[in-house]
Chains A and B, each alone.
Chain A
Amino acid sequence: EAQVTQNPRYLITVTGKKLTVTCSQNMNHEYMSWYRQDPGLGLRQIYYSMNVEVTDKGDVPEGYKVSRKEKRNFPLILESPSPNQTSLYFCASSFTGTLYTQYFGPGTRLTVL
């Protein structure tokens, strides 16, 4: 089944404790992206990657890191999480020729205390 998976789905952590949210897709998509969704602010792009070893900042990259060592994986790293990073995070992927058809993962709800 074609899908985007994210782990963990739910996470409660404390300020300053490094964490990684994994994202994996099995559709051979070149493009992958991370978003956060907050009430009243909608979906905001954190980072995106047009292909392996190519990453770019989105609108809200501060406090986040990403890497794209393999085509299928695009982990999101929070080196020192803070409470303002409490949010619902979505990973998405697509072919670069059809960016409008983003396939989203199920979301990761992160709470930073």
Chain B
Amino acid sequence: RKEVEQDPGPFNVPEGATVAFNCTYSNSASQSFFWYRQDCRKEPKLLMSVYSSGNEDGRFTAQLNRASQYISLLIRDSKLSDSATYLCVVILGSGNTGKLIFGQGTTLQVKP
């Protein structure tokens, strides 16, 4: 079983739709969780952190469910510019161990 798993999609949605992605992780010692965005084989960039209490940034909401070991990303009112691949990232262990595990990414295509 992969340490971090995502549904690769693609998710094809119309503009204005709400879409949600999940990411599951297998290591219960995982401490820190994040979402990155990657445009068309360019370099990934940090989108947002995921806190136990949830995290909202404009149209984006990230949540963590430790009991079920998954994190989620919700995008409301999708824009064409949201089309990208979304990568979930887990940092293993407590403290700064240096080991980041990336999911394989979920591709989102927003259509006019």
Contact = CB atoms under 8 A, between A and B. Distances in A.
Interface of A: 31, 33, 35, 40-45, 48, 50, 56, 58-59, 88, 90, 96-97, 99-102, 104-107
Interface residues of B, number: 24
Nearest to B49: A100
A105 B43 contact: yes
A106 B42 contact: yes
A24 to B, nearest CB: 15
A107 B41 contact: yes
B49 to A, nearest CB: 6
A42 B43 contact: no
Interface string B36-64: 10000111111001000000000000000
A102 B46 contact: yes
For the residues of B in contact with A, the DSSP-based class is strand
B95 to A, nearest CB: 10
Minimum-distance CB pairs A-B, first 4: A42-B104, A104-B43, A43-B102, A100-B34
Contacts of B89: 100
Interface string B78-112: 00000000010101000010111111110000000
A45 B101 contact: yes
Given A56-B98, A102-B46, A105-B43, A42 B105 contact: yes
